[in-house]
Chains A and B, each alone.
Chain A
Amino acid sequence: GAVVSQHPSWVICKSGTSVKIECRSLDFQATTMFWYRQFPKQSLMLMATSNEGSKATYEQGVEKDKFLINHASLTLSTLTVTSAHPEDSSFYICSAIKALDNSPLHFGNGTRLTVT
């Protein structure tokens, strides 16, 4: 149980275009989802916390207008990288939680974004 699906697993786009990444909880309802970014050989850095039906909470230094997050249902959150630039190339990974207790976060398989 507790499967999180992330799509696409990899994407290549040109500078200036936008890319949408989907994160779905397949067998549970996730009131909260998290979006992380991981640069090569580095740790996961939290970008934003996404709550169903409300605006996302962004971490300091993350541009909310560039990384648009929508959490329209209890099973789907999307991250849109707008006007992508090469420096946005990274591994983006989402996670979802079943309950606000000590349950582990369940992660999607990640999306490798390359901006050319």
Chain B
Amino acid sequence: AQKITQTQPGMFVQEKEAVTLDCTYDTSDPSYGLFWYKQPSSGEMIFLIYQGSYDQQNATEGRYSLNFQKARKSANLVISASQLGDSAMYFCAMRDTGTASKLTFGTGTRLQVTL
């Protein structure tokens, strides 16, 4: 069974600083995908970034980058130049080929960006 672990229930970061949100995973499937979603207080789930298990390079999308360390089974999200609008819940999720495209989510990290 696959498992996603986010050990930081809450994080604070000052505006314009970078922050790393941790995510570790466990799966026996060699082919899998890792996703990060942002959930603001309004509730919608916003897709941020994707990393495939066979991707050679770390994924980047604007201010978001994924620090993928396959041997350690970690997929940390790095947000650079934090903005007040980045304050939200952040979920790490995984999908492997054995799960028919359904996502398994971690428990989330609440990020608060301060002035």
Report which A residues bind B (CB closer than 8 A): 32, 34, 42-46, 49, 57, 91, 93, 95, 97, 100, 102, 104-110, 112
Q: How many A-B contacts at CB < 8 Å in the complex?
A: 54
Interface residues on chain B, number (Cβ under 8 Å)? 21
Instruction: Identify which of A43, A100, A110 contacts B91 (C-beta below 8 A).
Output: A43
Residue numbers in B under 8 Å from A44 (CB-CB): 45, 91, 103, 105
* Nearest CB of chain B from residue A91's CB, rounded to whole Å: 6
Cβ–Cβ contact B47 & A110, under 8 A: no
Residue numbers in B under 8 Å from A91 (CB-CB): 43
The distance in angstroms between the C-alpha atoms of A108 and B46, with both chains bound, is 10
Instruction: Identify which of B43, B45, B101, B105 contacts A100 (C-beta below 8 A).
Output: B101
Residues A93 and B43 in contact in the complex (CB < 8 Å), given A49-B100, A104-B35 = yes
Cβ–Cβ contact A43 & B44, under 8 A: no
Cβ–Cβ contact A105 & B107, under 8 A: no
Greatest chain B CB density within 10 A among A43, A46, A95 is at A43
Residue numbers in A under 8 Å from B52 (CB-CB): 102
Binary per-residue interface labels of chain B (21-37) against chain A in the complex, 1 for a CB within 8 Å, 0 otherwise? 00000000000010101
Cβ–Cβ contact A100 & B35, under 8 A: no
